[in-house]
Amino acid sequence: MENTEHLHCLIIGSGPAGYSAAIYAARADLKPVMITGMQPGGQLTTTTEVENYPGYPNGTQGPEMMEDFRKQAERLGTEIRFGYVTSVDFSARPHKVIVDESKTITADSIIIATGASAKWLGLPSEEKYNGFGVSACAVCDGFFFKGQDVAIVGAGDTAAEEATYLAKLCNKVYMIVRRDEFRASKAMVHRVLNTPNIEIIYNSETKEIMGDGKTVNGVKISNKNTQEERILDITGFFVAIGHTPNTAVFKDSLDLDESGYILTIPGSTRTKVAGVFAAGDVQDKIYRQAVTSAGSGCMAALDAERYLAAANDIA
């Protein structure tokens, strides 16, 4: 068939999970080809300082770290292609993937590492200061706001957990909740209510993140009932309203949980389809760290290598 290519190992996605899978797959001589997706390097390319990844004693910039990952994967033999997977067919082997609605790739093994995207409020000022006081990960960036006043928006378990995490580091944490109650579990709400330096502001919406052009210095919020506006003096603004796993293209082929994350067989990266593996934030809604994504990328490559070796023995 014209415009069809067959591969031994296809990796979809180019964050820490995808690159780590590529490094291991290349060293195992699986001749991996990576399709980057629309955001080569993934979420870390929107992060400035990264201080919690082992091996960088002075910290590094997110985009630079992803560039290091890319160079290592390429040096070991990974072919990296810019493109976007538009549809898949896992009903027969070899599994089939369509890239950019035009090119057909069949593969003996597929590693999905398409990640998850943080949900944002959609404010222009939020985009302007993203990485310069605005963050979607308190565990990643809270350290930079030690002793400062910050705000976090959200009402679920993640927001409650991140607010209490920030409270240990920061002088004051304003928690902006849109409704008059939390969506979080009772235990998490109890933890927030019993943290003295968290101030909860109910029935409030974020209108604008304010700054001096370089960094954040305030946030304008509005009471939904009274329309009264208020400005909070803060240096950090955290968005904790959830993540969306990038799995729409796989929804008819793989088992997903209620939030859209790919379900893997516990203790492995195997999906319900033999020869298809999932690694990183696309299947992990609990930890969501670069180092855990990288670890599961390694697991996926090892799982794929064992699967291909067994398939070869049978053949």
Of the three residues 214, 239, 264, the one that is the final residue of a domain is 239
Could you say which of 141, 149, 284, 303 is catalytic?
141
- Give the confidence band of 2 by pLDDT, cuts at 50, 70, 90: low
Percent of the chain having pLDDT more than 70? 98
- How does residue 183 score in pLDDT terms, banded at 50, 70 and 90? confident
Cα gap 212→169, rounded to integer Å: 24
> Is 137 tagged catalytic?
yes
79-116, pLDDT tens digit by residue? 999 999 999 999 999 999 999 999 999 999 999 999 99
pLDDT for 276:
98
One domain for residues 96 and 23: yes
pLDDT at 128: 95
Interval 302-312: pLDDT, tens: 999 999 999 87
Q: Which of 9, 140, 170, 298 is catalytic?
A: 140
Domain count, the chain: 2
Residue finishing a domain among 239, 265, 281: 239
Query: Of the candidates 212, 239, 266, which is a domain's last residue?
Result: 239
Report the C-alpha gap between 100 and 93 in whole angstroms.
Answer: 21
Look at residue 314 in the predicted model and tell me its pLDDT.
Answer: 64
78 lies in the same domain as 136: no
Whether 9 is catalytic: no
Q: What is the CATH number of the domain that holds 44?
A: 3.50.50.60
180 in catalytic set:
no
Domain that holds residue 171: 120-239
Q: Identify whether residues 159 and 248 lie together within a single domain.
A: no
CA distance 144 to 124: 23
Q: Are residues 43 and 74 both part of a single domain? A: yes
Q: Give the pLDDT score at 1.
A: 47
Tell me how far apart the alpha carbons of residues 86 and 102 are, in angstroms, rounded to a whole number: 9
Q: What is the DSSP string of 40-51?
A: TTGGGGG--EE-
Provide the 3-class DSSP secondary structure of residue 275: coil
6/136 Cα distance (integer angstroms): 38
Whether 167 and 221 share a structural domain: yes
**Tens of pLDDT along 118-165?**
899 999 999 999 989 999 989 889 999 999 999 999 998 889 999 999
pTM (two decimals): 0.83
